[in-house]
Amino acid sequence: MTTAATDVLTERQRQIEREGWTTQHDDEHDPGVLAASGAAYALNAADQMHPYSQGDGDNDVPHCWMFDPASWKPRDPRSDLVRAAALILAEIERIDRESPKGKT
C-alpha cells in the first residue's frame, strides 16, 4: 500500500476515534453530504495548487462545505486531499451500509 493510501486510512480512523464521527454518526447524514464536504477539501487543495482552478482564487469556505463554517479547517494541499479522500471513503462506506447489494 502506498503512503498516500495509508494516510487516507489513518485519517479516516482519526475521524472516527478522535472526532467521534463513527459509522452511526455518518449514517445520520443525508446522502451526498460527506461526498460534498470531501469535494470542498479537494477543491480547496486545487485552488491552493492553482489559484484559478475553480475560477475564484479565494480562500472562502466552498459552497459545497455541508457543515458549520466554523468547522472548516483547511491546511496544505496534501493534507486537504487526504481529508477529502477520507470523507469520500466515509460516504462510500455509508452507501454500502445502506444498500450492500448496490456495491460496484
pLDDT in tens, the chain (104 residues): 999 999 999 999 999 999 999 999 999 998 999 999 999 999 989 888 887 776 566 667 888 999 999 999 999 999 999 999 999 999 999 999 988 665 55
Q: Taking Cα atoms as reference points, which of 18, 19, 13 lies closest to residue 90?
A: 13
The answer to whether 86 and 22 are in contact (CB under 8 A) is no
Residue 29 grid cell: 447524514
pLDDT at position 101 is 64
